Every structure is written in structure tokens, then in C-alpha cells.
Amino acid sequence: MTTTNARPRSGRRPGASGTRAAIAAAARVQFGDVGFDRTTIRSVAAAAGVDPALVMHFYCSKQQLFVETMALPFDPAPVVADLLAGERETIGIRLAHFLLHAMEDPAVSTVLLGRIRAAASDPEAARLLRDLVPGELVGPLTRELGVDQPELRAGLVSSQLIGFAVARWIVGVEALAALDVERSIAFLGPSLQRFLAGPLP
């Protein structure tokens, strides 16, 4: 990202080779696969083919490596705007549609699953996940919809979204892992719709 920015200026180039990017890529994969604790600076360095000290040189600490590397590869704001622009009766299914298709991209799934895995044992990572899912993604949706109890609705939607991700990709429930994207959307959509805009007791 930083090293290969498509804007050739006249000054001297910021980085030399793609080493930093290679480290980031390796870290992303490992954080996504085995979580924060079981990812080590050494194993990341080995996977990237560099010295462990170089990882520290670029990212200063393991925590910072996690934060910089687990940034969402897309901006949630326009997505939220798009969802709000459509019909409210189908917003649940369209939210499911967007997220489940996004999870097909390893760059997205790795980051989301990595954040979930880390949140399971680290309170600080839990805050990061809270800020992202009910915070940036679902919260603005329910607040702009003009429904009652928007925060509660955002929490309920988040619980089903996180739960499906955990059950499908982390716990590995077979019947869910066997689903294709379109069927997953069809099953989750109605539940999300009820939480988002349906009547709540």
C-alpha cells in the first residue's frame, strides 16, 4: 500500500523493495488463520523470507503489526449509503448479499476472521471489532433507517453476522460450510431484515 503508491513524484522513493508489503501479506495470512497469540514475529518473518528484526524495524511492535495489517480493505461508508438508498423491505437480504460476497475475497475474509479470532482472547481487539461491526457497519444503517432502538437492532444484527462467521469459518460447522453464497444469503436475509426493520417485541 504505502510502498507502491501510484503517484510517481520527483523526490527520492520512500521504500526500496516490496519487503514491507511482503511482511504485511504474511502477517495478514497468519493473523487470519491462527489469531493473534499464535502468530509470532518469527513465523511471519520466515513466511515473508526476511529477518525477524526487520519486522520490528517496520512495525515497532506485534500489536502495531496487527492493527496496521488488519485494517479493512474497503471503506464502509459508501456501502452503508448504498444499502440505505435501496428499498427498506430488502435491506436485510442486501446486507447479507454484500457481506457474504465480500467474504469471498480473501483480503476481506482474512481481516474479518482475524479480528474475530483476536477478539476472543484480547479485550483490546474486542474493542476493535465492536468499533467495526456494530460501530461503523451496522450502527449507521439502523440509525439512518429511522426505526426504534437503533443501537439494540445493530447489536442483534451484529450477533447474527458474527455468529455465522464464527460457525461457518472458525468452528467449521459442516452444514454451513457446505452452503454456497446465494443460499447463505437466502437463509440469513430474513433474520437480518427482522432485526433491522421488523417489529421488535
Partner DNA sequence: GTCTATAAGCAGATAGAC
Partner DNA sequence: GTCTATCTGCTTATAGAC
**List of residues contacting DNA (CB under 7 A):** 14-17, 19-20, 39-43, 50-54, 56-57, 60-63
Which residue of 42, 105, 121, 124 would you call a contact of a copy of itself, by CB under 8 A?
121
Residues comprising the chain, all counted: 201
Q: Grid coordinates standing for 1?
A: 500500500
Q: Grid coordinates standing for 116?
A: 474475530
* Residue 200 near which of a copy of itself, DNA, none (CB within 5-8 Å, type-dependent): a copy of itself
Nearer to DNA, 52 or 135 (CB): 52
Distance CA 19, CA 90 (A): 45
Nearer to DNA, 63 or 149 (CB): 63
Nearer to DNA, 19 or 160 (CB): 19
Distance CA 88, CA 43 (A): 47
The verdict on 181 binding a copy of itself (CB under 8 A) reads no
Q: Which residues make Cβ contacts (< 8 Å) with residue 81, sequence separation at least 6? A: none
> Collapsing DSSP states into helix, strand and coil, what is residue 147?
coil
Nearer to a copy of itself, 20 or 62 (CB): 62
The verdict on 100 binding a copy of itself (CB under 8 A) reads no
Q: Which amino acid is at 193?
A: Q
Phi, psi at residue 23, to the nearest 5°?
Answer: -65, -45
The verdict on 172 binding a copy of itself (CB under 8 A) reads yes
Distance CA 10, CA 14 (A): 11
The verdict on 25 binding a copy of itself (CB under 8 A) reads no
Sort 94 into a burial class: Cβ within 10 Å, 0-12 / 13-18 / 19+: middle
Contact stretch for a copy of itself (CB under 8 A) within 49-57, 63-71, 82-90, 119-127: 119-127
Residue ranges binding a copy of itself (CB under 8 A): 34-35, 37-38, 116-117, 119-121, 123, 126-127, 129-130, 133-134, 149, 151-152, 154-156, 158-164, 166-168, 170-176, 179, 183, 186-187, 190-191, 194-195, 200-201
